[in-house]
A and B are shown apart, each in its own frame.
Chain A
C-alpha cells in the first residue's frame, strides 16, 4: 500500500523487490536456512519442536518464531503486491481527487477513502492466503517437526492410513468453505452495493 502512494520513489522499488523475493522463496528451503542461521550458527532460537504454551510459554513462543515467519512470508508478499496494484487503481479515481481537493489530510484520504475501496481484491487474496497457509503448514510442520495436522497428514499418507487422510481432507475442506463464506460476507460490508438475496 505504501508502494502505491509513493509510486516510483525509492521505497516503492525496495518494497516491490522485497515482495518479489517473498513470493519466490520456497518456504521449506527458507525454513531449513533459518534453522541453520538462527538455531545452529547464532543459537538465538531453538532448532525445532513444539511445546504447549501452557507448559512453557517462553519456549513455546521462541519455537514458533521461525515457522510463523516461514508460513506468513508468501501470503504477506502476495497480499502486498495485490494491495499495491489495487491501490494504484483506486488512487486514480475521481473521488480520491475530490477528497484531496476538499483539503482532507493524507491519512484520512489514504486510509478511509482509498483503502476501503481497494480492499476487495485484497480480501479475496487474504481468503486464499488462509487456505494457502493451511496447505503450507503441511510442509512447514514437517520442516520444524511440529506435531500438528499437517504432519499428521504426511504421516498418515506415508503409512497409507486412508481413514485419517479422508478425515483430514474433510476437515480442511470444511475450514476453507467457512473462510470463503466469511470473505463473501465481508464483501457486502465493504461495498454496500453488493447484496445477497
Chain B
C-alpha cells in the first residue's frame, strides 16, 4: 500500500505522460521474476537468430556411429538415436518454436481482433453471427480443435500454423468484442462520430487504440501457450514433420531410450519450460504494469 501511495504522488508531481511511462517501467521491472523472464526471452531470441552460428553440429545430419552417447565434452548433452547432437538440435528447435509462436499469434490476433472489433462495434446481427461462430469454435478444447484441423490438413509447418491459428483465434475475438463494447460507450467516441469520422476510422484508430493494453498482454501470454501447444502436437507426431528439430518431437524420440539416456527427453523439456515460464512472467508483468484491473482475467 505504501508503495502504491508513493507512485500516486509521483504521478501527480510530474506531467501525466512521463508519469505514466515511469509508472509502467517501475511496476514492470519491480518484480525479480519478470526481469528473469525478460532476460530469458532476449537469450531465446538471440539463440533463435544465431542458431546456425552457435550450434556446434548440424541439427539434421545423422552420424550413426556416434548414436546414443552420454553427455561429453564433444556433445554437451549427448546424442540421440541417429547420432545427432542434442544441444544443437535444441538450439535449432528454439527457432522452430519461436517462428511458429510468432506467426500463429500474428495470424490469430489479426483475424481475431478484426472479427471482435466488427462484432463489438456494429452489434445486432453482425455481432450475433460472428460471436455464435466464435462460441461454436470455443466449445472445443483448444488442443482437440488444433488436432482435428491438423488431421484434415496433414503434417508440416504451414498446416500446424493454420491449425493453431484457428484454435487460438476465438479467444482474441471474444476479448476484443468485450473490450470494444465497453470502450465504444465513451464520450470521445460520440465526439468523433459527431465531427464526422467514418466508421472504419472510429473502429481502427479510436477504439482499437484504447483496447491495446489487454491485447498486448494477451499476445504475450498466448505466445507461451502456442509454443506449448505446438510441442504437444509434435509430441503426438501430428506437428512438425520429423527431420526439422522441434522440442516436442525430441521429447517423444527420447521416450524409447528413457532408461539409458533420460537426457534426450529431459533437455528439450527444460528448454520448453524456461520459454513458457519467461512468456508467462513477462505477460504477468505487462498486465500488472499496463492495466492492474485485468488481474486474474487471463
A residues sitting closer than 8 Å to B (CB atoms) are 20-21, 23-26, 28-29, 32-33, 35-36, 40, 81-82, 85-86, 89, 121, 131-132, 134-136, 138-139, 142-143, 153-154, 157-158, 160, 165, 168-169, 172-173, 176-177, 180
Q: Is the CB of B236 within 8 A of A142?
A: yes
Complex: chain B residue closest to A180, CB-CB: B139
- Known pairs A33-B266, A40-B259; A26 contacts B232 (CB<8 A): yes
- Known pairs A24-B280, A177-B139; A165 contacts B232 (CB<8 A): no
Q: Choose from A36, A82, A138 the contact partner of B236 (Cβ within 8 Å).
A: A138
Q: Is the CB of A176 within 8 A of B141?
A: yes
B residues sitting closer than 8 Å to A (CB atoms) are 33, 139-144, 147-148, 150-151, 228, 231-232, 235-238, 248, 251, 254-255, 258-259, 262, 265-266, 268-269, 272-273, 276-277, 280-281, 295-296
Q: Is the CB of A28 within 8 A of B235?
A: yes
Complex: chain A residue closest to B259, CB-CB: A40
Distance in Å: Cβ of A172 to nearest Cβ of chain B: 6
Contacts of B248 in A (CB 8 A): 28
Q: Is the CB of A32 within 8 A of B141?
A: no
Complex: chain B residue closest to A87, CB-CB: B296
Distance in Å: Cβ of A24 to nearest Cβ of chain B: 4
Q: Is the CB of B272 within 8 A of A26?
A: yes
Q: Is the CB of B259 within 8 A of A86?
A: no
- Known pairs A26-B269, A26-B276; A169 contacts B148 (CB<8 A): yes
Contacts of B235 in A (CB 8 A): 28, 139, 142
Contacts of A157 in B (CB 8 A): 147-148, 150-151, 238
Q: Choose from B142, B148, B251 the contact partner of A28 (Cβ within 8 Å).
A: B251
What number of A-B contacts does a CB cutoff of 8 Å give? 104
Complex: chain A residue closest to B150, CB-CB: A157
- Known pairs A32-B254, A173-B139; A24 contacts B273 (CB<8 A): yes
Distance in Å: Cβ of A196 to nearest Cβ of chain B: 17
Q: Is the CB of A138 within 8 A of B296?
A: no
Complex: chain A residue closest to B272, CB-CB: A26
Contacts of B143 in A (CB 8 A): 135-136, 138-139
Contacts of A85 in B (CB 8 A): 295-296
Contacts of B265 in A (CB 8 A): 29, 32-33, 36
Contacts of B237 in A (CB 8 A): 158
- Known pairs A169-B140, A172-B144, A176-B140; A82 contacts B296 (CB<8 A): yes
Distance in Å: Cβ of B222 to nearest Cβ of chain A: 14
Instruction: Report whether over half of chain A's contact residues are helix, strand or loop; otherwise say mixed.
Output: helix
Q: Is the CB of B251 within 8 A of A29?
A: yes
Contacts of A81 in B (CB 8 A): 296
Considering the chains assembled together, what is the distance between the CA atoms of A35 and B228 in angstroms?
20
Complex: chain A residue closest to B276, CB-CB: A24
Q: Is the CB of A138 within 8 A of B33?
A: no
Considering the chains assembled together, what is the distance between the CA atoms of A28 and B251 in angstroms?
9
* A-B pairs with beta carbons under 8 Å apart, 7 shown: A20-B277, A81-B296, A154-B147, A157-B147, A165-B148, A169-B140, A173-B139
Complex: chain A residue closest to B231, CB-CB: A26
Q: Is the CB of B269 within 8 A of A40?
A: no
Q: Choose from B147, B151, B259, B268 the contact partner of A160 (Cβ within 8 Å).
A: B151
Q: Choose from A35, A139, A173 the contact partner of B232 (Cβ within 8 Å).
A: A139
Q: Is the CB of B144 within 8 A of A138?
A: yes
Considering the chains assembled together, what is the distance between the CA atoms of A116 and B82 in angstroms?
57
Distance in Å: Cβ of A146 to nearest Cβ of chain B: 14
Q: Choose from A25, A29, A89, A135 the contact partner of B141 (Cβ within 8 Å).
A: A135
Q: Is the CB of A153 within 8 A of B141?
A: no
Distance in Å: Cβ of A26 to nearest Cβ of chain B: 5
